[in-house]
Amino acid sequence: MTETEHVEESVWDYPRPPAVRAAPGRLVEVWFGERLVASTRQAVRVLETSHPPVYYLPAADVVTELLVPAGAVSHCEWKGQARYWDLVAGGRRAAHAAWSYPEPLPAYRELRGMLAFYPGRVDRCTVDGETVRAQEGDFYGGWITGGITGPYKGGPGTSAW
């Protein structure tokens, strides 16, 4: 599939609780501070009703030396406790740019050893060369690409969805 070919997906067709799905063959990249921070064809997507997909990348495909523990945690009722990471590159620092689930709950064990990035906190995220749009809001880290349709949770007035 090229960057101009898209399969239509409505976020309202995604399940709740969320599902983890492989993204086979898709080239997923993250850029920050003029550095390629991550590049993989082994990403997985977490799909949840009303949310754009969140891409998780294997830590082995991330320049982890650029990540600094942020000291912050949050809890997801399905995935467990998330740990946050600052990203430091090119003389810049992006606070809480990435997160991981070091000990995910059993149903989400595929996320162990994976990292997710907020597209709005880095310079650029791409999927198969297409630049991702960040999900609105400051809590969710969805990646909006062509073919992903909303409306999406995260913006003003959507917290009660």
- Average pLDDT on 142-157 reads 93
Contacts of 21 (CB under 8 A, 6+ apart): 44, 45, 46, 47
Q: What is the CA radius of gyration of the chain?
A: 15
For 86-115, write each residue's pLDDT tens digit. 999 999 999 999 999 999 999 999 999 999
Q: What is the pLDDT of residue 18?
A: 97
CB 103 within 8 A of CB 114: no
Burial of 132 (0-12, 13-18, 19+ CB in 10 A): buried
For 32-85, write each residue's pLDDT tens digit. 999 999 999 999 999 999 999 999 999 999 999 999 999 999 999 999 999 999
Residue 3 has pLDDT above 50, yes or no: no
